[in-house]
Amino acid sequence: MQNNKFLELNANENSLGMADSAKQAIIESLGEGFRYPDNPRAALISKIATIHGVAENQISLGNGSTENIRATLQMLQNKALKEGKQFQMVIPVPTFDCAEMYANSIGVPVVKIPLTAENYDYDYDFDELQKAADDFDGISLLYICNPNNPTGIITSTSKLKTWVSNAPDNHYFLLDQAYLEYVSDPSFESGIEWVKQGLSDNLIVIHTFSKLCALAGMRVGYAVSNPQAIESVEAFMSMDNTNLSGAVAAIATLNDAKFLALSLRNTNQSRQMIETVLDDLGLRYLPSQTNFIFHEIKGDLKTYIDRMRDHGIKVGREFPPITGFNRLTLGTPDEMAAFIKVLKLFREKGWV
């Protein structure tokens, strides 16, 4: 069990909690717990395919979307090996660190390209990312998180789209859209639309049920791509990876429009509360399109994290090379009110 003493604003979970409909679906499914989850998995794939308007063989379910990340890396490493080519992954830093962790574990070299830092924009350095792949004699996987974690911002749709559509055959894109449901910027386009348009054969898009759907503990995610790419990735996925509870909970949540609307409303309200207090305190923040916000703290992050912890709140962690900013998960409005009290106290003490 997690330590409930703390307000957990550090893991980008959805503290609204699972939908009642999801809990009920799990309870009702327990009688089937002795069977392999083929039927609920097939039903979930069918539901996701319908939502996105793609074929069922364009979906690969993951035990969390991080399994899709791992399998994509392994698939490309294996392809490179078979073709006698080298393989590398290129990532911006900071970004969600799971792809790098998996690459390290299987010996795939990782090239890290810092985000641009002009006027604290913290955007992707497209020229340098592309150069790292262009200069490499072999297969490159570009892991691009949009919106990015920890910055919470989206990158330019037109730049990304141009890059993906013009990239050579040896460049692959893993586009992580874990926070897509929170994006309100009208310029944003989902990579799934690009898959549907056939913009690139080398584009794999991943989504998760861990954020808006509040199912992080159920471990459900998926990849969307063309059927050939999905078949190749599937060869590296665990058998029957999405368990019965996760599958039925995901279907119930997708069918629960009321819960999904409430979930989005909650996060939007919490974001508004935090932006207001950060404005009042004169602390800069990036325009969050996610369920977390990256904001200035005017000081040393480690000290800030420790002090927040002393006040019962988990925040952070460090995202080098950026300093002086904290990543705050947007919890429920009640949780945000509790956080705001502490943040204001920190201001009184001169700590932020």
Ligand X SMILES: Cc1ncc(COP(=O)(O)O)c(C=O)c1O
- Binding residues for ligand X, rule: CB under 6 A, are 12, 64-66, 96, 145, 149, 176, 178, 208, 210, 216, 221
Nearer to ligand X, 149 or 245 (CB): 149
Nearer to ligand X among residue 170 and residue 288 (C-beta): 288
Q: How far is the CB of 219 from ligand X (least distance, A)?
A: 7
**Minimum CB–partner distance for residue 81 and ligand X (Å):** 26
CB of 86 to ligand X, least distance (A): 26
Amino acid identity of residue 324, one-letter, is G
How many angstroms separate the CA atoms of 343 and 276, rounded? 12
Distance CA(339)–CA(42), nearest Å, equals 42
- Nearer to ligand X by C-beta: 319 or 346? 319
Least distance (Å) from ligand X to the CB of residue 328?
A: 14
Is-contact 68 102, C-beta < 8 A? no
* Closest separation in Å from C-beta 330 to ligand X: 13
3 state DSSP class of 209: coil
The b/e string for 259-291 (b: 16+ C-beta within 10 A; e otherwise) is: bbeebeebbeebbebbeebbeebebebbebbbb
Q: Which is nearer to ligand X, 40 or 80 (CB)?
A: 40
Q: What is the DSSP letter of 73?
A: H
Structure tokens at 310: 């002393």
Nearest distance, CB of residue 133 and ligand X, angstroms: 20
Q: Quick one: 215 or 277, whose CB is closer to ligand X?
A: 215
Let me know: does 151 contact 292? Beta carbons within 8 Å.
Answer: no
- For the record, the structure tokens of 277 come out as 């207090």
Which residues, other chains included, contact 122 with Cβ-Cβ below 8 Å and sequence gap of 6+?
Answer: 115, 116, 148, 151, 153, 286, 294, 322
Residue with tokens 């929170």: 182
Residues in contact with 66: Cβ distance below 8 Å, sequence separation at least 6, in sequence order: 98, 102, 221
Nearer to ligand X, 113 or 145 (CB): 145
Which C-beta is closer to ligand X: that of 176 or that of 256?
Answer: 176
Q: Smallest Cα–Cα separation from 136: which of 106, 166, 171?
A: 171
CA 239 to CA 110: how far, in whole Å? 28
In angstroms, give the least distance from the CB of 310 to ligand X. 25
Q: How far is the CB of 135 from ligand X (least distance, A)?
A: 26
Please state whether beta strands 86-93 and 110-114 pair in parallel, antiparallel, or not at all (unpaired): parallel
Pairing type for strands 7-8 and 313-314 reads parallel
CB nearer to ligand X: give 37 or 92: 92
